Amino acid sequence: MISSVKEAMERHINQDQIITVYGWIRSLRKMKNVTFALINDGTTGKNMQAVLKPCQGEGNNCKIRLSTGCSVKLTGLYRTIQGGSREKQEYELHVDNLQICGYADPSSYPLQKKHHDLEYLREKAHLRLRTESMSKLLSKDYIQTHPPVLTSSDCEGSGEIFKVESLNGSNSFFKKNTYLTVSAQLHLEALSHSLSKVWSLSPTFRAEKSRTSRHLAEFYMLEAETSFINDIEDLMSIVEQMVHDLVNNLKNSSIGNEIISDNYRTNKKDQVKLEDRWDFFLKKHWTRITYSEAIEALKNSSVHFKFLPKYGHDLQAEHEKWLTEKYTGSPLFIINYPKELKPFYMRLNNDSLKHEDRDTVSCFDLIIPQIGELAGGSLREERIDILKQSISAHKAHLSNLSWYIDIRRWGTAKHGGFGLGFDRFIAYLTGIKNVKDVVAFPRWHRHCNF
Amino acid sequence: MISSVKEAMERHINQDQIITVYGWIRSLRKMKNVTFALINDGTTGKNMQAVLKPCQGEGNNCKIRLSTGCSVKLTGLYRTIQGGSREKQEYELHVDNLQICGYADPSSYPLQKKHHDLEYLREKAHLRLRTESMSKLLSKDYIQTHPPVLTSSDCEGSGEIFKVESLNGSNSFFKKNTYLTVSAQLHLEALSHSLSKVWSLSPTFRAEKSRTSRHLAEFYMLEAETSFINDIEDLMSIVEQMVHDLVNNLKNSSIGNEIISDNYRTNKKDQVKLEDRWDFFLKKHWTRITYSEAIEALKNSSVHFKFLPKYGHDLQAEHEKWLTEKYTGSPLFIINYPKELKPFYMRLNNDSLKHEDRDTVSCFDLIIPQIGELAGGSLREERIDILKQSISAHKAHLSNLSWYIDIRRWGTAKHGGFGLGFDRFIAYLTGIKNVKDVVAFPRWHRHCNF
């Protein structure tokens, strides 16, 4: 049974139980016949005590050394501490199997001492999240976080970003180029390496000149990032479950009823049946196909597309529309795109069992009618060398991303996440045709009044 | 009894009752012997039916005409509709006393028709909030809203703001100068003229070069705005109650206990007794004095201040410190500052009974030890002519504020609100000395790494 540290520590069961826990080593006390480790995964301020055999998990001759900051997977018997007090039973994990997910070389990992100066830690803001005091400040379970609006990196590499400068400053206020965030993802990855599961609903910005009914220059993105996730299938299941719950709650709420009656009243001519739209999420079997399957299906269809579908080229709106509306008739996950079509941070499938997947990345686009892409997600490249190659190949500026690479340098964990355009989804669910009409003060190309 | 529309409509009491309701007229049906008005205050999607006598509240010879969009105060008997069905009892308000708070001249007020084009309404984003469909999209009671980060106005007039431009754009992306918001207040005022009571917890930005332990370039501000509030005393009571509840909840929570034990562990040398800090809010009698009383007290003190206290000059940090720590020894509201010391939007006390107050504005600063100003608030100038004069006197650009003036043009209401620097307050309550250490990725002068 996989358990969070919080679950294990709060759900003290009468009989002892075998559990598996993921987390980071907070401290390590090596004795002659036994090693004690304190494990934390961010779900609680408390640490779990783990009891290891000497050199357990450290390979031949202890060449790989366990140390503070390593990310680990531990399986063993969770049982009461022998000889502990009767009044307050305490538990510890007797580890049978230990796997290091991400090593944290003690000769370089900056968080060695129990207490560092706050000034020192501030310079390591991407790592200090993993300290006890910082992670306690944050909250529990899937934890809401508030990533910054101002950033020094363009995470999507699209160049369609806004630059920020002090009005009165002839010199640069921040010493380096500073932009409005296009996605909280990079910062959420740092947070997920302390708290395991994090989410945010934050303003994001795109300097796109599109003036369609679907585009805003300032919009809200719902983003989540999960550590210790191995399979893109699990990530898609999280998204499917979340959207399902959201729509189901809406359908069964009094607000849902109001929205439906308002919709009938205002959209008299051009009726959208909202109940059908909602049931499309709730009652259809969601489909998952690969990008190459999608290309094949498009080629084999008898439809005359304006853009010829071709492997290695982006799917066009007309392609996505046909796939979700005609081919599967369901919400559709398309996975494993060629790496050239996607941003630098997505995990390369080079270890896939299928040969044809090896130049693809482990990602998905979630496609639905009308909107097209509702959400996008991926596993993130957790292997430092492959990440660096990918950054070079994508021409992203390596220097601004050194902190992001650091996340993999010490205690890396397989992880993944997704983003969902929130305003667009609200507009779709409420039958409001233009996303500008679900935002109080919408901003788009040539429009920032008020 | 003052009641919101929601309270009145949901709390159907058995016996009929006299109530007072504030709100805006959504529609009006004038018949020969009676006028029916539908009233909404944003607390519910439903409208309250009010029954008026012909020309009621319209002054001599009906010169002032009631119309859609007027803000009104209504007092009367809330009772069942006579002749209504037995199964579903419906209620209406039989109005004895009607006062127009803000007139909405039907010859100019842009929201006349029942249904306007969405495109038309989008150009009136500051007023469309008052339409039925927009206010229903938003939620209930003190309503959380998400005001924009991008804005075309510098509401504090300080000039310490960030400018935003497209990275690739040689021309202006938004056609006019666009900034990062320094406060959500102006937009919350527009929202409060549809929903009565609104709040937000949003990122705000200041291009201040201060590098103290209290300053960030990006920080969260907790702001609230309330319509139909007449007295700065009521606004201070809201703030006092809110801070009291917040600290009390913290003190009685398990997180509160953890914070205290963490504080003892980490602040060993330089001990701050957090319980005392919290009790300062909970157990002291909060004090309210005027700015001129504060100046007198400072002058009469035997303390040697670096800056001589003088009427018409800003209170310095040393003055505020002495006032809250020595003079009153309590959380301290200082009210009624000279208008020259405060921004353009604060309400002039020119109708005050006390002659000496007439050149002051109806505002407060909430002062506490260590931090200085914890929160600031004011009544907002709801009288259009005085507002225009104040804008001129403060040299704010009138052209960018025409939408803001519009809020007063139709259906104005006495209103007020406040802002509280959230990160700073969290740092204070948790004993963390530098505000940069309560924010995951802090940004300040010359620092926007990550």
Residue at token pair 């090596």:
A30
The pLDDT value given to residue B129: 79
Per-position b or e across B354-365, b if 16+ CB within 10 A of its CB: eeebeebbbbbb
**C-alpha B232: how far from chain center:** 11
The pLDDT value given to residue A168: 77
The pLDDT value given to residue A264: 74
Q: Is A270 exposed, middle or buried (0-12, 13-18, 19+ CB in 10 A)?
A: exposed
> Is-contact B363 B342, C-beta < 8 A?
yes
What is the average pLDDT score of chain A?
Answer: 88
H or E element, residue A126: helix A125-128
Q: Is B60 exposed, middle or buried (0-12, 13-18, 19+ CB in 10 A)?
A: exposed
With an 8 Å Cβ cutoff, is A115 touching chain B?
Answer: yes
Beta carbons of A175 and B447 less than 8 Å apart: yes
pLDDT in tens, B135-160: 665 555 688 889 999 998 766 666 78
CA–CA distances in Å: residue A73 to residues A105, A227, B171: 17, 12, 53
pTM of the model: 0.86
Beta carbons of B430 and A266 less than 8 Å apart: no
> Is-contact A337 A349, C-beta < 8 A?
no
Six token digits for residue A441: 């003060």
| List of chain B residues whose C-beta atoms are within 8 Å of the C-beta of residue A434 | 118
With an 8 Å Cβ cutoff, is B183 touching chain A?
Answer: no
Q: What is the ipTM of this complex?
A: 0.84
Beta carbons of A174 and B448 less than 8 Å apart: yes
With an 8 Å Cβ cutoff, is A166 touching chain B?
Answer: yes
What residue spans of B69-184 are helical by DSSP H?
118-122, 125-128, 132-137
pLDDT in tens, B68-103: 889 999 999 998 887 665 566 688 999 999 999 888
Is the model's pLDDT at A62 over the cut of 70? no
- Closest listed residue to residue B279, CA positions, set B261, B256, B254: B256
| List of chain A residues whose C-beta atoms are within 8 Å of the C-beta of residue B433 | 118
pLDDT average, residue stretch B313-341: 97
pLDDT average, residue stretch B169-193: 88
pLDDT level of residue A279 (50, 70, 90 thresholds): very high
d(CA B239, CA B383): 24
Q: Is A272 exposed, middle or buried (0-12, 13-18, 19+ CB in 10 A)?
A: middle
d(CA B205, CA B332): 26
* Cα-Cα-Cα-Cα dihedral sign, residues A390, A396, A402, A406: negative
d(CA A159, CA A304): 33
Is the model's pLDDT at A139 over the cut of 60? no
Is the model's pLDDT at B321 over the cut of 90? yes
The pLDDT value given to residue A114: 67
Beta carbons of A262 and B136 less than 8 Å apart: yes
Q: Provide the 3-class DSSP secondary structure of residue B14.
A: coil
d(CA B147, CA B191): 9
> Is-contact A226 A169, C-beta < 8 A?
no
CA–CA distances in Å: residue A200 to residues A126, A130, A225: 17, 18, 9
Six token digits for residue A407: 């996340």
The pLDDT value given to residue A261: 82
| List of chain B residues whose C-beta atoms are within 8 Å of the C-beta of residue A258 | 45, 136
What residue spans of B301-443 are helical by DSSP H?
317-322, 384-393, 402-409, 422-430
pLDDT level of residue A418 (50, 70, 90 thresholds): very high
Pairing of strands A48-52, B91-102: unpaired
- Closest listed residue to residue A357, CA positions, set A311, A389, A394: A311
| List of chain B residues whose C-beta atoms are within 8 Å of the C-beta of residue A165 | 162-163, 165
The pLDDT value given to residue A171: 62
* Cα-Cα-Cα-Cα dihedral sign, residues A23, A24, A27, A29: positive
d(CA A366, CA A289): 11
Sheet holding A287-290, edge to edge: A143-144, A197-205, A218-227, A415-421, A372-380, A360-368, A332-338, A287-290
Nearest CA in chain A to B175: A446
pLDDT level of residue B255 (50, 70, 90 thresholds): confident
Nearest CA in chain A to B123: A449
Rounded (5°) CA angle A217-A208-B397: 50
Nearest CA in chain A to B203: A149
CA–CA distances in Å: residue B123 to residues A450, B22, B24, B117, B120: 10, 27, 21, 10, 6
The pLDDT value given to residue B177: 87
* Residue B173 CB partners (closer than 8 Å, separation 6+): A162, A207, A209, A217, A445, A446, B165, B166
Identify which of A125, A205, A220 has the shortest CB distance to residue B146. A220
pLDDT average, residue stretch B364-375: 94
Beta carbons of B45 and A258 less than 8 Å apart: yes
> Is-contact A438 B122, C-beta < 8 A?
no
CA–CA distances in Å: residue B139 to residues A278, A430, B42, B127, B134: 21, 14, 8, 17, 10
The pLDDT value given to residue A315: 97
> Whats the size of chain B, residue-wise?
450
Percentage of chain A lying above the pLDDT 70 cut: 90
d(CA A224, CA B439): 19
**C-alpha A156: how far from chain center:** 14
Give the residue, B40 or B55, on which the prediction is more confident: B40
* Cα-Cα-Cα-Cα dihedral sign, residues B391, B392, B397, B403: positive
Q: What pairs with residue B68 in β-bridges?
A: none
CA–CA distances in Å: residue A429 to residues A370, A422, B227, B340, B407: 11, 11, 31, 49, 31
The pLDDT value given to residue B98: 93
The pLDDT value given to residue A270: 65
The pLDDT value given to residue B83: 66
> Is-contact A113 A361, C-beta < 8 A?
no
Beta carbons of B146 and A218 less than 8 Å apart: no
The pLDDT value given to residue A56: 77
Phi-psi group of A212: left, alpha or beta (phi > 0 → left; psi -120 to 50 → alpha; rest → beta) = beta
Is the model's pLDDT at A159 over the cut of 60? yes
Q: Which of the residue ranges A110-114, A130-134, B126-130 would you say has the lowest mean pLDDT?
A: A130-134
Sheet holding B150-151, edge to edge: A150-151, A179-180, A162-166, B162-166, B179-180, B150-151
d(CA B450, CA B448): 7
Is the model's pLDDT at A329 over the cut of 90? yes
| List of chain A residues whose C-beta atoms are within 8 Å of the C-beta of residue B263 | none
pLDDT in tens, A71-116: 999 999 998 887 665 566 688 999 999 999 888 888 888 887 667 7
pLDDT in tens, B217-243: 999 999 999 998 989 999 999 999 999
pLDDT in tens, A12-27: 655 678 999 999 998 8
Identify which of B122, B153, B441 has the shortest CB distance to residue A148. B441
Beta carbons of A180 and B164 less than 8 Å apart: yes
| List of chain B residues whose C-beta atoms are within 8 Å of the C-beta of residue A149 | 149, 180, 203, 205, 218
Nearest CA in chain A to B213: A119
pLDDT level of residue B443 (50, 70, 90 thresholds): very high
With an 8 Å Cβ cutoff, is A83 touching chain B?
Answer: no
Beta carbons of A150 and B443 less than 8 Å apart: yes
